[in-house]
Structure 1
Amino acid sequence: MGRKTAIINLDPANDCLPYECAVNIEDLITLSDVVAQYGLGPNGGLVYCMDYLEKNMDWLKEKLQLIAKDHYLLFDFPGQVELFTLHNNAKNIIAEMTNQWDYRLTAVHLVDAHLCSDPGKYLSALLLSLNTMLHLELPHVNVLSKIDLIEKYGKLAFGLDFYTDVLDLSYLQYHMNQDASHAKYRKLTAALCGVVEDFGLVNFTTLNIQDKESVNDLMKLVDKSNGYVFAGIEGNINEFCKVAAGPLNWDYYRTGEIQEKYMSDEFIDDFPDD
């Protein structure tokens, strides 16, 4: 697509990188060193590493200053859910980037699609997604990944749109209550489903990494949520509204040129604060 992209690895356990990264947290701290030095397990070690990064944000800022002005940045965070639901280190790192460095970030939360084949696991995924959204306070895209493998784990009780759009969860409750192992928790199930529905925040898009169109659709959704798609619109509020409310079918192959032309300091200074 012609987009200048830089990947920033912030996962200290990512010792076999499948990509070339512009910034690597292992130049600052590694999980293996922390585990060996302090006798921590992998989970405690990751928490320590993220705490250490939070206290050394100047290191990250200095690294990013060399590439941030003319690159689309992809941050690869650890997959440990506690970092994004219970602890504040990742949240504080992200908050500094958005509030002090003026980065426009979107959280992309990957959930294995096979969880849809088990109603209990799917409900857990809904709660985890909601918790993460509330904790990080970012534009958020939830993704059912590996969607091409979903049927391998059993037939779905409902159509795929039920799981992506998070439709009436009373059907999910009824389905779970048919299982004796779930039936005794029907009140708890109803309460948890009620929490998800009351917030009304969670839905999913899908991803098949082998399908170019699927990847493109996800990229468009992310670019719309973080404002990248607005880069080619010069202060026309009507055009902003059209793109914001319209479908994801803009001329996407123009973005490489747009980035070079508009993602400069001069344009960013003129970008609406809201």
Structure 2
Amino acid sequence: MSRVGVLVLGPAGAGKSTFCNSIISHMQTIGRRAHIVNLDPAAEPNQYEFTIDIRDLISLDDVMEELDLGPNGGLIYCFEYLLKNLDWLDEEIGDYNDEFLIFDCPGQIELYTHIPVLPNIVRHLQGQLNFNLCATYLLEAPFVVDTSKFFSGALSAMSAMILLELPHINVLSKLDLIKDDYNKKRLKRFLNPDAMLLSTETIDKEMNPRFHHLNECIANLVDDFGMVQFLPLESKNPDSIMTILSYIDDVTQWAETQEPKEPDDQIDIEDME
């Protein structure tokens, strides 16, 4: 039977850990079991404890202290160490066959853009541990309502999508931080964006004319891929969490991996005649 997992990605501060905890909380209310697999060697548990924690194998603080590395260099070392000890991850995941695993990942995007760390872990989870995976990529809504920053965020989401080669769900987090009606209305345009229209707005109002052609090329790239759409996330709104979880279930085929349950009452065929 296939296992199901979701990788939670996005820049530092995008709300990944809050999202993980919100999913766990919602799943508990509907009678499903889920576990957080912490892949950030600098993270501390928040609302829910980590079921599996990379810090039991290696921690960023220890690496920085013993090897005199900075945060980014230390993080890369931690993941290279994990890649050499994937048997530890296999043993920790163990027999979680019919339960939902949420992989909370670090915010440093170089782990899947500059070096093939997360892509290698993804291939291991799929090939060796038989996981059905999807990726959720979080961007902060207050960041995206600035049109020029939207294109920056869209490119980072596309980069993760292409390099990980996973079903991909983009999420706009921290909607509660947008208070004014003007930006709330603007935000709707970024959920299912028309890249070329946004590009025109940027050229007309915001961007230095020297970058018009570059901006048009980026808009064309986003438009050609046609994959940059976002789901709104309100971490304290159960309906918002339920909607995102339904998308995750669809792309991971969660329902199809469940063992069929025997009905409580067997129907006698003769009674139906």
TM-score by length of 2: 0.79
Instruction: Specify which structure has the bigger relative contact order, considering alpha-carbon pairs within 8 angstroms and separated by 6 or more residues.
Output: 2
What corresponds to 1:137 in structure 2? 165
What corresponds to 1:13 in structure 2? 42
Shift of 1:197: 1.2
8 Å contact from structure 2 (residues 79, 117) kept in 1: yes
Distance 1:115 1:147, change over 3 A: same
Q: 1:41-74 CA distances to partner (integer Å, 9 max, x unpaired)?
A: 11111111111111110000011113x2132111
Shift of 1:4: 1.7
What corresponds to 1:255 in structure 2? none
Return 5+ residue gaps in structure 1 as ranges. Answer: 232-257, 263-274
Matched, 1:107 2:138: no
Shift of 1:172: 1.4
Distance 1:157 1:70, change over 3 A: closer
Give the secondary structure class of the aligned counterpart of 1:185.
helix
How far, CA to CA, are the matches of 2:166 and 2:256 in structure 1? 18
Q: 1:110-168 CA distances to partner (integer Å, 9 max, x unpaired)?
A: 1101122211111101101111100100011110011222345x83496444211122x
1:162-181 matched pairs, under 5 angstroms: 162-167=189-194, 169-179=195-205, 181=207
Paired AA for residue 130 in structure 2? D
Distance 1:260 1:32, change over 3 A: farther
Given the alignment, which residue of 15, 20, 27 partners 2:56? 27
What corresponds to 2:123 in structure 1? 95
Distance 1:84 1:52, change over 3 A: same
Paired AA for residue 44 in structure 2? D
Shift of 1:195: 1.1
8 Å contact from structure 1 (residues 117, 155) kept in 2: no
Shift of 1:17: 3.9
RMSD: 2.1
Paired AA for residue 164 in structure 1? L
Give the secondary structure class of the aligned counterpart of 2:131.
coil
Distance 1:41 1:103, change over 3 A: same
How far, CA to CA, are the matches of 1:55 and 1:132 in structure 2? 23
What corresponds to 1:222 in structure 2? 248
8 Å contact from structure 2 (residues 36, 52) kept in 1: yes
Paired AA for residue 134 in structure 1? I
* Count of residues in Structure 1 that have an aligned counterpart in Structure 2: 233
Q: 1:211-236 CA distances to partner (integer Å, 9 max, x unpaired)?
A: 110011111111111110334xxxxx
Give identity over the alignment, percent. Answer: 35
What corresponds to 2:99 in structure 1? 71
Paired AA for residue 59 in structure 1? W
Distance 1:197 1:158, change over 3 A: farther
- Structure 1 runs of 4+ aligned residues shifted over 6 Å read none
Return 5+ residue gaps in structure 2 as ranges. Answer: 1-29, 263-273
8 Å contact from structure 2 (residues 178, 184) kept in 1: no
Distance 1:64 1:157, change over 3 A: closer
Higher strand content, 1 or 2: 2
8 Å contact from structure 1 (residues 111, 143) kept in 2: yes
How far, CA to CA, are the matches of 1:179 and 1:203 in structure 2? 24
Shift of 1:259: 6.2
How far, CA to CA, are the matches of 1:55 and 1:260 in structure 2? 38
